[in-house]
Structure 1
Amino acid sequence: MDAEFNRTYITLGGYVGVDKYGYLYFVILLALYLLILCTNLTIIYVICIHRNLHEPMYIFIAALSVNSVLFSTTIYPKLFIDVLSQRQIISHSACMFQYFMFYSLSTSDILLLSAMAYDRYVSICKPLQYSTIMGRITVTVLLTVAWLIPAVKVAVAIVVNSKQKLCDFTTDGFFCNNKVYRLYCVQSTFLNLYGLISMLNVVAVPAILIIFTYIKIFIITYHSCFEVRKKATETCLPHLMVLMCWFFLCVFDVISARLESDLPKSVHVIMSLQVVVYGPLFNPIIYGVKMKEISKHIKRLLCHLSTKSI
């Protein structure tokens, strides 16, 4: 076992009724995956081809959609295989890769949302300095930080954890999240402390920044004219909706990872599905419907496609 544990296969025991409803699950998951790809790729395409959308706010939205595509592609294809298989297993290395993508991209989302909050703050509270503050270099640095820091933090945890041995080989989830830590023989004190510090750095600090920026935005818009309040509502409301969605997804993930294993599997499935469906699917829908400029270009694209097909 000492020489082989990194090649160990882990059983994903969170599936319910695969023998009876496997094909139904496959159709539902495939429909969700295709819908996620279509909505997010549409957002990315519209932002890329229209020069008036080459602004920081829309660039961050496109980055969120890129994250959603990568996140879904990491999770869903494996689900397709599992619901049609007699045994739902995953290799230890593949599980760690899925874990890495899951948490690095999820953490990247909150940093991108923080960058968007800062962008809205500068746009509304310091409009005359906006072009200077939110220049190309600033946007590039914010994107780099949002993608690089989470990847490094999660990678460090995985490298340290790779030295731990497995004593259990069955997790009650259907993809690799924090539940995999229950499989190790010894719980690492260093990793627990590292995880707490990392959470404070990449979750608590951005949350404080977001709260601060929106308090400032609220104060400024409250004392401004109707047009300023209208503009702030149009751009900030979708952002707040996505933030609330991200917050609840984090709560679902934390709760599902901490739930006792004797609870019904259906509860675990429902909790886990919140994480892999809501964010990747709702984000592009919210921005596509609520963001006026994006919505306008999407409608034109759909009209062009329908006219061309006729």
Structure 2
Amino acid sequence: MENTSTVKVFTLSGLQDARTYRSIYFSFTLLIYLLIILVNLTVILIICLERDLHEPMYVLLSHLCVNGLCGTAGFYPKILLDILSDVHVILYSGCLAQLCVIYSFVMCEITLLTVMSYDRYVAICRPLQYHTIMTPLMVRSLLLYAWLIPISEVVVALILTLRLPLCGTHIDKLFCDNGFIMKLSCVPATINNMWGIVIVTIQFLNVFLVLYTYGQIVNVCLRSSEGRSKFMETCVPHLASIVSFIVATMFDYVYSRHNSKVLPLGLRNFMAVEFLVIPPLFNPIVYGLKMKKIRTRVIKLFSNTTVSHRFGGKSQWAKK
């Protein structure tokens, strides 16, 4: 019988077919990761550099992009190495670190989307009081809640997982999953399951807050053309982000709870990693396209870059 004193390495599955098309898988995965870095960094830099974007809505958006970069950093470098390797393993400590990063990303994504919905609620339903309510102190408090509470939940979950004696080393997934580690436990993980219920309850409360605020927003927007315009510009991308994230995480939940061997391996892998592909790539793109201020800055940034390259090229040609 193996336990945590002897289990030093976990084996991962899901890349059995990667050897045949290794270069294609690697190139496609690397391209996605580079795109995620590019679009998120672009939005973050634009918000940081443009003074007129130092407003609560854009500050919260920049934190959403930072969270996307942090979460994907816990997955893509490892999966890229695994694609190039014939042996897919991860150290016990590395597994816990990956769990911490990915689970924190998921939890923080939900809370960040929740506080963003509150910001939109105040902006549309109480516009005259917006700057009185959304003070710098309030924004910092919301961000503290969005980051600290989820990370604390994940840390407690990992501490509970650390105490479990393990009777196996194989995780039937592309990356470390707390649910799969609990299945390897030699003893019932009752406390872990109870804490999982607490976390799910907290997240359901966040979702309820989002639904409530948007119910109020829609009610107000139906009364005025100005409200409808503001809703279309700032709330639609936020709603799209919420829907994409919920759908992506539901796929992972179904995979983790009902890991059916009947499904093709490619479909199972897609269900497992969709939340690490779609939301981090989708969020900055949809906000960048829909929100006029960011869209204008992006176009201006790339236009200036293109012009400078052309001008530089002509200058060098002229010197020659």
**In the TM superposition, what whole-angstrom CA distance separates every residue of 1:23-72 from its partner, at most 9, and x where no partner exists?**
21111111111000000000000000001111111111100100111111
Q: CA deviation at 1:154?
A: 0.8
How far, CA to CA, are the matches of 2:290 and 2:180 in structure 1? 36
Q: Which amino acid aligns with 2:161?
A: N
| Deviation readout 1:242-268 (Å, 9 max, x if unpaired) | 000111112011101012353342232
Q: Secondary structure at the match of 1:10?
A: strand
Matched AA of 1:229: R
Matches of residues 19-38 of structure 1 in structure 2 within 5 Å? 19-38=19-38
Match of 1:253 in 2: 252
Q: Which amino acid aligns with 1:159?
A: I
**1:114–1:104 Cα change, 3 Å:** same
Indicate if the aligned counterparts of 2:182 and 2:189 stay in contact, CA closer than 8 A: no
Aligned residues of 1:172 and 1:261 also touching (Cα < 8 A): no
- Give the % identical residues: 37
Superposed displacement of residue 4, structure 1: 3.0
The residue number in structure 2 matching 1:215 is 215
Give 1:41's aligned residue: 41
The alpha-carbon distance between structure 1 residues 222 and 97, as it changes in their structure 2 partners (threshold 3 A), is same
Deviations 1:85-120 (A, max 9, x none): 110000111111111111111111111111111111
Deviation at residue 21 of structure 1 after TM alignment: 1.3
Is residue 107 of structure 1 aligned with residue 70 of structure 2? no
Q: Deviations over 1:261-295 (max 9, x none)?
A: 53342232121231221011111111111111111
- State whether residues 107 and 150 of structure 1, in contact with CA within 8 Å, keep that contact through their aligned partners in structure 2: yes
C-alpha distance in 1 between matches for 2:190 and 2:301: 53
Q: Which runs of 5+ in 2 are unaligned?
A: 311-320
Letter matched to residue 54 of structure 1 = H
* Cα distance in 2 for residues equivalent to 1:34 and 1:99: 22
The 3-state SS of whatever aligns with 1:11 is strand
Distance 2:32 2:77 in 1: 12
Partner residue of 1:200? 201
Q: Partner of 2:21: helix, strand, or coil?
A: helix
**Which deviates more, 159-168 or 50-59?**
159-168
RMSD: 1.3
CA 1:152–1:3: 2 relative to 1, 3 Å? closer
Q: CA deviation at 1:3?
A: 6.6
AA of the residue aligned to 2:176: C
Alpha-carbon distance between aligned partners in 1 of 2:223 and 2:206, rounded to the nearest angstrom: 26
Give the Cα separation in 1 of the matches to 2:111 and 2:260: 32
SS of aligned partner of 1:223: coil
Amino acid at match of 1:248: V
8 Å contact 1:36–1:281 — kept in the other structure?
Answer: yes
Quick check: 1:123–1:130 contact (8 Å CA) kept in 2?
Answer: yes
Q: Flag structure 1 segments of 5+ consecutive residues without an equivalent.
A: none
Q: Distance in 2 between matches of 1:200 and 1:179?
A: 21
2:190 corresponds to 1:228: no
Letter in structure 2 aligned against 1:189: T
Q: Give the distance between the partners of 1:76 and 1:128, measured in 2 at CA.
A: 44
2:273 is aligned with 1:278: no
Structure 1 CA distance, aligned partners of 2:260 and 2:100?
A: 23
Distance between the aligned counterparts of 2:64 and 2:154, measured in 1?
19
Which structure is larger by alpha-carbon Rg, 1 or 2? 2
SS, match of residue 20 in structure 1: coil
**In structure 2, distance between residues paired with 1:3 and 1:182:** 14
- 1-structure distance, mates of 2:197, 2:166: 23
Pick which of 81-90 and 257-266 moved more.
Answer: 257-266
**TM-score, normalising length from structure 2?**
0.93
Note if contact 2:36-2:69 (Cα within 8 Å) is conserved in structure 1: yes
Assess if the C-alpha contact under 8 Å between 1:82 and 1:88 holds in 2. yes
Q: Equivalents in 2 of 1:87, 1:95: separation in Å?
A: 15
Quote the offset at 1:231 in angstroms. 1.5
Once structures 1 and 2 are overlaid, which stretch shifts more, 178-187 or 214-223? Answer: 178-187
- The equivalent residue for 1:244 is 243
Q: Report the 3-state secondary structure (helix = DSSP H, G, I; strand = E; otherwise coil) of the residue aligned with 2:187.
A: coil
For residue 152 of structure 1, what is the aligned residue in structure 2? 152
Query: Is the Cα–Cα contact under 8 Å of residues 15 and 173 in structure 1 kept in the other structure?
Result: no
- How far apart, in 1, do the equivalents of 2:100 and 2:53 lie? 31
Distance 1:117 1:239 in 2: 8
Checking the alignment, whether the CA contact within 8 Å between 1:16 and 1:266 is kept in structure 2 is no
Structure 2: which amino acid aligns with 1:110?
A: I
Q: Does 1:307 align with 2:316?
A: no
Shift of 1:187: 3.2
Aligned to 2:313: none
